[in-house]
Amino acid sequence: MVIIDGKKVSLELKEELKASVEEYRAATGKVPGLTVIIVGEDPASQVYVRNKAKTCKEIGMYSSVIELPAETSQKELLDTITLLNNDPQIHGILVQQPLPKQIDEFAVTLAIDPAKDVDGFHPENLGRLVMGHLDKCFVSCTPYGILELLSRYNIETRGKHCVVVGRSNIVGKPMANLMLQKLDATNCTVTICHSATKDIPHYTRQADILIAAIGKAGFITSDMVKPGAVVIDVGINRVEDASTKSGYRLRGDVDYEGVSAVASAMTPVPGGVGPMTIAMLLKNTLHSFQRTHAL
């Protein structure tokens, strides 16, 4: 079985991005800029935001973090977004979720200029994705990262049956639409399964490419996978483990031990899809910079 190593690919991609940023700095005196807004003090969000800022710095991009208190009003947040929309130094805007209950997440998504929506969540970007205008939109970072992994591992997709388990706006829906596109790296027949699907194993056993994004640790077991299938595990679930220092360990939506004996290729957790998400966020930010400056 081939282990699809997202950590390795993300490091390669960051080196490529670093070279591009340096090239543009030398030619234009400018670099891509990303701002992350965090509201409140969610510990997991703070770690994620710090990682984004650190990676930006490593590849030579401009990065800023705006930290707002948990009691911030929706208007205050939207006003901050408006300022960033109009800031020529900023090419990507990301509002870290979850947000406090007084703030409407959809209103925040709509407020971000689609040309700076490097998370790919704005309805305009999602609509362009569905219509196949991938050169004129931003693709959500996790599905985009999965596409990059499939491409770099030369996994044949054309005419294959791809089954996506999960229908979130962040992964499941954009992933399914991506795999439908007339691209060398997609062009699949696609089935979506979700919490209301009856007999999920009936569908997953038909998959040539199985993408699990349902948010349940170990949900996909070996008897649910067709021998030789390519399995992409998007899940990152914390499960209790007294033997670890933290008291927990990360586990995917796929039972790795069982499924790895059946699959032809598979992503591990951690170290599979996860590292790709930040890398693709920065790739989107670079694309925004290129479009802004007609490069």
Q: Which residues are catalytic?
A: 52, 96, 119
**Residue 123 region by backbone torsions, left for phi larger than 0, else alpha for psi between -120 and 50, else beta:** alpha
Neighbours of 274 (CB within 10 A): 22
Q: Report d(CA 235, CA 124) in Å as an integer.
A: 27
3-state secondary structure at position 275? helix
CA-closest candidate to residue 132, choices 193, 166, 76, 182: 182
Contacts of residue 100, Cβ cutoff 8 Å, sequence gap at least 6: 39, 40, 70, 71, 72
CB atoms within 10 A of CB 106: 10
CA atoms within 13 A of residue 86's CA, in its CB half-sphere: 5
Contact 77, 278 (CB under 8 A): no
Strands 189-193 and 92-95: unpaired
Scored b (16 or more CB within 10 A) or e, 80-96 reads bbeebeeeeebbbbbbb
Please give the structure tokens belonging to residue 273.
Answer: 């899809």
Report how far residue 142's alpha carbon sits from residue 172's, in angstroms, rounded to the nearest whole number.
10
